[in-house]
Structure 1
Amino acid sequence: MPASSPRASVDYASARRDFRWERPEHFNFATDVIDRHAAERPQAPALQWSDESGRSQRFTFQELKERSLHAARFLAGLGLKRGDRAFILMPRVPEWWFLVLGCIRAGIVFMPGTPMLTAKDIRYRLEASRAKAVLTDASCLDRFEGVRDAPGVTTWVSTGDAPAPWTRYVSEALPQAQATAFPPTRAEDALLIYFTSGTTGMPKMVQHTQASYGQGHLITGRYWLDLKPDDRHLTLSDTGWAKCAWGKLFGPWSEGACNVVYDFRGRFDPVAFLKVLERERVTTFCAPPTAWRALVLQDLKAVDLSSLRHTVSAGEPLNPEVIETWKEATGLFIREGYGQTETVVIVGMFPSLEPRMGSMGKPSPGFTVGVINAQGEEVADGQEGDIAVRVKPERPVGLFQGYLNDDAANASSSRGDWYVTGDRAVRDADGYLWFVGRSDDVIKTSGYRVGPFEVESALLEHPAVAESAVIGVPDDKIGQRIKAYVLLTPGHTASPALAQELQDFVKRTTAPYKYPREIEFVAELPKTVSGKIRRAELRATQKK
């Protein structure tokens, strides 16, 4: 991307108009980005890490370069070659970043996984990807019990002492003079493979190239996160999620910002996390809706959040009342962004845009995003359709190359000149997009189409509701009836009377036809490893 490209924080229209993708023959995030920062700002902070026990470590860009050089030589010394696939499962420890950058340098394709995966999940990933190596942390060794016979895996690496066949990895700083020279990677070489969160069926393998993520996330870091070299950015994400690549790897370091990481192993503690934001003087912050909903329930005036200048949310739509509560306490609007494991950020409420509560924003620079019908034609403003990215005549850099070994998935996501995301939206006359829901989540009831988020958002406005999930249940008379699964806030007790109260509340809050005809109170909701509600699992339990 040309250095002269205007930032979206200055002028969104100019950024859209003047943006052009650079398409170099060779690209490598470690050598072209990390090493450049190390040369220009060697002592600038790159990674600020802390954990629940109070331990803290700080690494500069020069140290990041040296430790990733050591990691690359270490992996190559174990016999791993360019194009080999390495499954990496670690908590938020510094070694994750060193090994990932080492893989990138050496052209080894890394495949992140979350420590929440079970042995069954891991075996599926190893076998489906034909992984050659496993990289893990001593705290995660038990996850691999019963899977060390996975066919094709020849290299097992752990950060701590472990019995054979594990090889111990200890991070060291390797000066440039001692570094193994690795041939430059081509822009189209494979960089990483993510497994989709699997809201329906088994996870699919999403492959990105050195350019599509390493170069493409310049969009995320510069335009949506609005990062500058003196920023201290924190994204709340597990290392196994694609959001980690967005906000804890490519996004912040593409702009030379400091990546602030808080390593916690248990449940998310909003009180403790607010103190981290205060202590680390975080300037830009991204969290998923589930975390935002917990954060706004706290006493936000009890912590000093004055260092914050920009806050964003992604993963699922964020309820307007959460945005309002945060803004009242901090003066900051939570700006939403939209993308997938398959993309970088493709729609965002960019800093220079006038915020519109409930909208996910406008298309990113470098992307043509449309709302299309079944024939691949853009629908009129105000009409619902499929969110799609134009891929012809030129494919955007920040888009994946396709699903590996899945012709059916590739075919279903292609429609004429478009890549179809599988999500539905409405575009208004000013070009803002409004999320409706996943294509298979939209409810058709009594001739109306209802997005589950609309009902969930209305329910969340009631003080008794902590979280909800809404689905359509087959109904012979009206096609589908709306059913809500509700988690209550402390101090409220499930009862038929409360169910009736919630139904009446939704009728008053939104269009009456959107009210849930059924309400079931539950203790938890089924979610993917990335925290998204598995509505398909809820639908599977229903009968006419």
Structure 2
Amino acid sequence: MAYTAHVDTFARDNLPPQDQWPAFIFNRPELQYPDRINCVREFLDRWIDEGRGDEPCLISPAETLTYRRLHERVNRICNVLVDRLGFVPGNRVLLRSFNNPMMVAIYLAVLKAGGVVVATMPLLRAKEIAYPLNKAKITLAFCDHRLSEEMERARSLASDLKHVVYWGSSAADGLEALIADASPAFEAVDTAADDVCLIGFTSGTTGEPKGTMHFHRDMLAICDAYAGNVLRAQPSDRFIGSPPLAFTFGLGGIVLFPMRIGASTILLEKAGPDELLGSIAQHKATVCFTAPTAYRAMLAKLESFDISSLRKCVSAGEPLPKATFEAWFDATGIKLMDGIGATEMLHIFIAATEDEIRPGSTGKPVPGYEAQVIDQDGRPVPPGAIGRLAVRGPTGCRYLADERQRNYVRDGWNITGDTYVMDEDGYFWYQARSDDMIVSAGYNIAGPEVEAALLTHPAVAECGVVGAPDDGRGVIVKAYVVLAPGFAPGPELTKTLQDHVKAEIAPYKYPRAIEYVEALPRTQTGKLQRFELRRIAEQEGHAQEVPA
């Protein structure tokens, strides 16, 4: 059996059989890793060893930590884990917090001590918290005291959970009290490169959440593949963003990428458009990570903030409409760097550098990854043909004890659930999630393409497009639209929007029904929940088609 530092071997024992793993590719020099490596040595300890401990690392409204101060805090937490909490390498630890320095310190401490992090979104309710607690057999949790109510409710639903440590209060048994007298020295556990260190749970939009298992080497690979080759940030950069750290887009973009190169990051507990813009201006952030919806929302507020420090903006989490790309570029001169990632793959695997961006395209495979478009039988389709996206590289899907592994991995490829077209130049063009394709009167229509067309009209602030049942066509294209200020719903506006879509894309794709809503259903990471719109459309029965 291969070496592991884990005393508690639950994670390794519950990996899928190796014949169900995707193929892993390490065909570039920057992706060569030793058999034993603890990723925290590379993210944190190395900067102390190289004499850069006094450089800023984590910046927040409450405190700023240099690499040295973070190093000491992480080590103190490691010692509390081992000496006070009975922790052994391989234990899974649940984290619940907003984005703040203590959350990052605990995260790194669990990894450094050889443990496995299971981070959760702050807004989850008790039942949703209990699911990963039970699935991953978690005995220990760390929680911001402001989130204690749902955490305490989850206790009664999770029989394995023995201890919850809170922080942020003055409690005698709080984390701050526990680490006060702990040693600031701790040697990283000698973990294997393929020891599990993170179980990221999916959002559960297609059923029960799936636990995606990632190794120490994976944490480095996403930095060295995407961040090193595509983002190309510098140690002088200051990162900022809105995604929660429990969302792997946020973990990579706001924590791992800057720490891999010794840069600094600005952590915000609230990162709406005003807070994000204000903090960019205040802290002179240079690299921003957020979703297309957020960039679109910030456009109307740019005049009130000085964001001239920004030089790179990354967009992921949902498709980037060409109209949003162009509007952001016109307003700021910055090209939004689109990318597609997946919790199963840990981070972005298709993207483009600024000088290679083609607006509307996601880009090309990140160096180190391979991608192709395949048909239902797994055979590659020619350029220009629609099919399912398949990808492989240094990271890939390994579900925690889940039969759905067989659906995601086929013949060594990760089948992401996205529908794409690859052009003659090797650029990938997003069409829809595979279950978001609308088949109406024999035509295949991608909901996101119709959304992108609607978003080019000034009346549309947000929209979601799905198939709705129809007596005549079986299914029609239906749009749910949130109007921009100053516009009122009505038949005239509906016809205007329908005609606008007909002028933007093939006329048969226009929304034959439009419903105006106050808000769209979204996940906690900001993704549009089209499955919820489909459910609503189905419940409403046969949609009333509006002639156009």
Q: TM-score, normalised by structure 2?
A: 0.88
**SS in structure 1 at match of 2:515:** strand
Q: Which amino acid aligns with 1:350?
A: T
**In 1, Cα distance between equivalents of 2:29 and 2:319:** 27
Candidates 47, 53, 67, aligned match of 1:42: 53
Determine the structure 2 residue equivalent to 1:406.
402
**SS in structure 2 at match of 1:365:** coil
**In 2, Cα distance between equivalents of 1:91 and 1:510:** 41
Candidates 348, 351, 363, aligned match of 1:348: 351
**In 2, Cα distance between equivalents of 1:540 and 1:19:** 48
Aligned 1:407-486 pairs, distance under 5 A? 407=403, 409-486=404-481
Determine the structure 1 residue equivalent to 2:111.
104
Determine the structure 2 residue equivalent to 1:291.
294
**SS in structure 2 at match of 1:491:** coil
Candidates 225, 238, 245, aligned match of 1:232: 238
Matched, 1:498 2:493: yes
Matched, 1:22 2:32: yes
CA spacing shift, 1:250–1:461, aligned 2, 3 Å: same
Aligned 1:48-127 pairs, distance under 5 A? 48-50=59-61, 55=62, 57-77=63-83, 78-127=85-134
Check whether the contact 1:337–1:360 (CA below 8 A) recurs between aligned residues: yes
- Percent identity at matched positions? 35
Candidates 335, 339, 343, aligned match of 1:333: 335
Check whether the contact 1:225–1:284 (CA below 8 A) recurs between aligned residues: no
**Long gaps (5+) in structure 2:** 1-25, 543-548
Q: TM-score, normalised by structure 1?
A: 0.89
In the TM superposition, residue 190 of structure 1 has moved relative to its aligned partner by 0.8
In the TM superposition, residue 436 of structure 1 has moved relative to its aligned partner by 0.6
CA spacing shift, 1:286–1:181, aligned 2, 3 Å: closer
CA spacing shift, 1:31–1:383, aligned 2, 3 Å: same
**Long gaps (5+) in structure 1:** 1-15, 391-395
Q: Which amino acid aligns with 1:154?
A: K
Matched, 1:31 2:41: yes
**In 1, Cα distance between equivalents of 2:420 and 2:184:** 53
Check whether the contact 1:220–1:246 (CA below 8 A) recurs between aligned residues: no
Determine the structure 2 residue equivalent to 1:220.
226
Q: Which amino acid aligns with 1:189?
A: D
**In 2, Cα distance between equivalents of 1:131 and 1:20:** 34
Check whether the contact 2:290–2:316 (CA below 8 A) recurs between aligned residues: yes
In the TM superposition, residue 326 of structure 1 has moved relative to its aligned partner by 1.6
Check whether the contact 2:369–2:394 (CA below 8 A) recurs between aligned residues: no
**In 1, Cα distance between equivalents of 2:443 and 2:30:** 41
In the TM superposition, residue 441 of structure 1 has moved relative to its aligned partner by 0.7
Determine the structure 1 residue equivalent to 2:310.
308
Check whether the contact 2:40–2:188 (CA below 8 A) recurs between aligned residues: no
CA spacing shift, 1:537–1:301, aligned 2, 3 Å: closer
Q: Which amino acid aligns with 1:399?
A: G
**In 1, Cα distance between equivalents of 2:455 and 2:177:** 47
Check whether the contact 2:447–2:465 (CA below 8 A) recurs between aligned residues: yes
**SS in structure 2 at match of 1:385:** strand
Candidates 123, 135, 151, aligned match of 2:159: 151
CA spacing shift, 1:103–1:496, aligned 2, 3 Å: same
In the TM superposition, residue 351 of structure 1 has moved relative to its aligned partner by 3.0
**SS in structure 2 at match of 1:523:** coil
Determine the structure 1 residue equivalent to 2:212.
206
Determine the structure 1 residue equivalent to 2:389.
387
**SS in structure 2 at match of 1:216:** helix
**SS in structure 1 at match of 2:293:** helix
**In 2, Cα distance between equivalents of 1:158 and 1:528:** 26
Check whether the contact 1:206–1:404 (CA below 8 A) recurs between aligned residues: yes
Q: Which amino acid aligns with 1:308?
A: L
Determine the structure 1 residue equivalent to 2:195.
189
In the TM superposition, residue 163 of structure 1 has moved relative to its aligned partner by 8.0
Candidates 321, 324, 345, aligned match of 2:323: 321
**In 2, Cα distance between equivalents of 1:240 and 1:160:** 19
In the TM superposition, residue 79 of structure 1 has moved relative to its aligned partner by 0.8
Determine the structure 1 residue equivalent to 2:18.
none
Q: Which amino acid aligns with 2:444?
A: R
**SS in structure 2 at match of 1:356:** coil
Query: RMSD across aligned C-alpha pairs, in angstroms?
Result: 2.2
- Once structures 1 and 2 are overlaid, which stretch shifts more, 98-107 or 197-206? 197-206
In the TM superposition, residue 153 of structure 1 has moved relative to its aligned partner by 0.7
In the TM superposition, residue 182 of structure 1 has moved relative to its aligned partner by 4.7
Determine the structure 1 residue equivalent to 2:22.
none
**In 1, Cα distance between equivalents of 2:281 and 2:328:** 15
Size of the aligned set, in residue pairs, is: 510
Q: Deviations over 1:49-90 (max 9, x none)?
A: 12xxxx4x2211112211111111112220121111111010
Candidates 127, 147, 162, aligned match of 1:140: 147
**In 2, Cα distance between equivalents of 1:160 and 1:102:** 17
In the TM superposition, residue 476 of structure 1 has moved relative to its aligned partner by 5.0
**SS in structure 2 at match of 1:244:** helix
Candidates 500, 523, 526, aligned match of 2:521: 526
In the TM superposition, residue 348 of structure 1 has moved relative to its aligned partner by 0.6
Q: Which amino acid aligns with 1:187?
A: A
Candidates 243, 250, 261, aligned match of 2:249: 243
**In 1, Cα distance between equivalents of 2:196 and 2:320:** 33
In the TM superposition, residue 173 of structure 1 has moved relative to its aligned partner by 8.3
Check whether the contact 1:90–1:140 (CA below 8 A) recurs between aligned residues: yes
Q: Deviations over 1:10-65 (max 9, x none)?
A: xxxxxx99655213111212123311112221111111112xxxx4x221111221
**SS in structure 2 at match of 1:217:** helix
**In 2, Cα distance between equivalents of 1:380 and 1:518:** 34
Check whether the contact 1:301–1:329 (CA below 8 A) recurs between aligned residues: no
Moved >6 Å (runs of 4+): none
**In 2, Cα distance between equivalents of 1:206 and 1:315:** 17
CA spacing shift, 1:329–1:161, aligned 2, 3 Å: closer
**In 2, Cα distance between equivalents of 1:509 and 1:405:** 46
Check whether the contact 1:67–1:174 (CA below 8 A) recurs between aligned residues: no
**SS in structure 2 at match of 1:346:** strand
Check whether the contact 2:478–2:514 (CA below 8 A) recurs between aligned residues: yes
**In 2, Cα distance between equivalents of 1:468 and 1:178:** 51
CA spacing shift, 1:163–1:64, aligned 2, 3 Å: closer
Determine the structure 1 residue equivalent to 2:276.
273
Q: Deviations over 1:160-205 (max 9, x none)?
A: 44889x7544585899x85244530101111111110122212111
CA spacing shift, 1:33–1:144, aligned 2, 3 Å: closer
CA spacing shift, 1:427–1:174, aligned 2, 3 Å: farther
Check whether the contact 1:222–1:228 (CA below 8 A) recurs between aligned residues: no
Q: Which amino acid aligns with 2:535?
A: A
Check whether the contact 2:286–2:309 (CA below 8 A) recurs between aligned residues: yes
**In 2, Cα distance between equivalents of 1:27 and 1:479:** 56
Check whether the contact 2:73–2:184 (CA below 8 A) recurs between aligned residues: no
Determine the structure 2 residue equivalent to 1:512.
507
**In 2, Cα distance between equivalents of 1:385 and 1:20:** 31
CA spacing shift, 1:384–1:233, aligned 2, 3 Å: same
**In 2, Cα distance between equivalents of 1:531 and 1:75:** 34
Q: Which amino acid aligns with 1:313?
A: S
**In 2, Cα distance between equivalents of 1:107 and 1:69:** 13
